Amino acid sequence: MRALTLLLTITVCNGWLFDHFGERYRETDDVSLWPLPQKYQTTPTAFKLSASSFQIVHAKDSSAGPSCSLLQNAFRRYFSYMFDYVKKHGMNQDKGLDSELSELQVQITSTDPECDGYPSLKTDESYQLLVDQPAAVLKAANVWGALRGLETFSQLVYEDNYGAITINKTDVSDFPRFAHRGILLDSSRHFLPLKVILANLEAMAMNKFNVFHWHIVDDHSFPFLSRTFPDLSQRGAYHPYTHVYTPADVKMVIEFARMRGIRVIAEFDTPGHTQSWGKGQAGLLTSCYSGSTPSGSFGPVNPILNSTYDFMARFFKEVSTVFPDAYIHLGGDEVDFSCWRSNPDIQKFMEQQGFGQDYSKLESYYIQRLLDIVKATNKGYMVWQEVFDNGVKLKADTQIHVWKEKPDYNSEMAQITAAGFHALLSSPWYLNRISYGQDWQGVYKADPQSFNGTAEQKKLVIGGEACLWGEYVDATNLTPRLWPRASAVAERLWSDENVKDVNNAYTRLVKHRCRMLRRGIPAEPLFVGYCPHEYDGL
């Protein structure tokens, strides 16, 4: 177990992080790191940053340089976070501190900085940050760790009483507790405009999330524009032109995410949740029967036809080329067997296969064939927990996604890891479930490793995801419903396991929420209070 090292040099005049509700706002109150770094030491020694002279630069011995567009874009982005508000509001930067910090030097230490690569499950996101004169130094093995360090540096910056941009002498050594820290957004139940998706990717980076789980299609609509099967969106989307994601749109999302160290994992859930698929692909879904005649309605994907697997092979071949991540989420949850039971052809197939009346065996038959198809594309796969629960034969590197409340998620995580599979948790983090009051606290207290198991089992937990399903959210309310509640998940997945103090978290999260407002993210309030720079509105 790693011991949390959190060394804060605190003086009465400095007014550091842990002020109490109702006290007067002090100049360093803007400084509140979220998620909390693994090791962090600061002093009252303060330096001024001037927008006219401060620079973020590549260190001389860095393996990355000006040709690394990912870092160049990040330098501009974080410079704007630190200085744009001051410049926009004409605040005075000339008074106050005499001691000036001239630059932040970013040093990438690995031979390959990965400027043109994509983040992965095995990405090293660690970094070291030393803020001191004559220059602050950020060291990371690759660009992904540098991105996390830039976020931390920007969070250390605050305005003094004269409006001067200031940072204290600080030493940070940091790395994430879990490798998979995700947000699921659902663009099927309500179409999400690109602007909303991109804004939330921006917010994800502010909270050190690194996976965008894109639940892109479902029963309700099929907005993914497939070049191989264009009728899927032409007939399955809410509107074939205004409510679709074109190949260019998808490419934009993937690149925007990559520039922020975020993986994009697409989910195409089958055999259930596929009503929209059937509108553009005749014969794909099972025809339901009422007695001996078709009822005119359709159920899950028809698992007994060779044409089903021919379609899946072609479709997932395309998906594997569109989405560069090493993993695809294949769903596999909530399959309603009633339509399969009603269909005489399926009944006959069940008898031939010796499945009896156990339709979970039929589901497993389908899933197994689908997994073989996806395996042929050289992709790994993630599945919802039902696939494991139903005994489907899985590859050793399968990632099993736990979402159900019953059975208890701790026992499910224990069973999955005992079987040797990687697991990730979402059960306590369904943020579409809302209630009056500070529900973020329950979110904050949940832990993916709280189950009874061996140290080896705990190592198989790769992280988790906060999920925001789309029944009741669209572009009008998605972002404030998600943030800062998702920030609670972010700290649980990044910070040391001993970071559990809800009162301390509240103090920091209130300020982090104010920081997100200042950066243009309309995060909802945690409770009564105010921000020094309130959200300006639409």
The rounded distance, in Å, linking the Cα atoms of 417 and 423 is 7
Angle between helices 485-494 and 502-518 (to 10 degrees): 120
Q: Chain-centre distance of CA 381, in angstroms?
A: 17
The rounded distance, in Å, linking the Cα atoms of 242 and 442 is 38
The single residue of 23, 27, 159, 334 carrying the catalytic annotation is 334
Beta carbons of 236 and 196 less than 8 angstroms apart: no
The rounded distance, in Å, linking the Cα atoms of 432 and 450 is 23
By three-state DSSP, how is residue 312 classified?
A: helix
> What sign results for the dihedral spanned by CA atoms 16, 18, 24, 30?
positive
User: CA nearest 286: which of 379, 350, 377?
Assistant: 350
The rounded distance, in Å, linking the Cα atoms of 104 and 135 is 6
Give the residues across from 464 on adjacent strands: 181, 425
- The identity of residue 52, as a single letter, is S
**Residue 177: burial class (beta carbons within 10 Å; 0-12, 13-18, 19+):** buried
Q: Is the peptide bond before 193 cis (omega within 30 degrees of 0)?
A: no
Check if 334 is active-site. yes
Where are any strands of DSSP class E within 279-398? 285-290, 293-301, 327-329, 380-384
Report the 10 Å Cβ neighbour count for 310.
11
- The identity of residue 446, as a single letter, is A
Which of 65-71's residues contact partners 24+ apart within 8 Å by CB, and which partners? 67/115, 68/113, 68/115, 68/143, 69/115, 70/115, 70/116, 70/143, 70/147, 70/258, 70/259, 71/106, 71/108, 71/113, 71/115, 71/143, 71/146
Kindly list the catalytic residues: 334
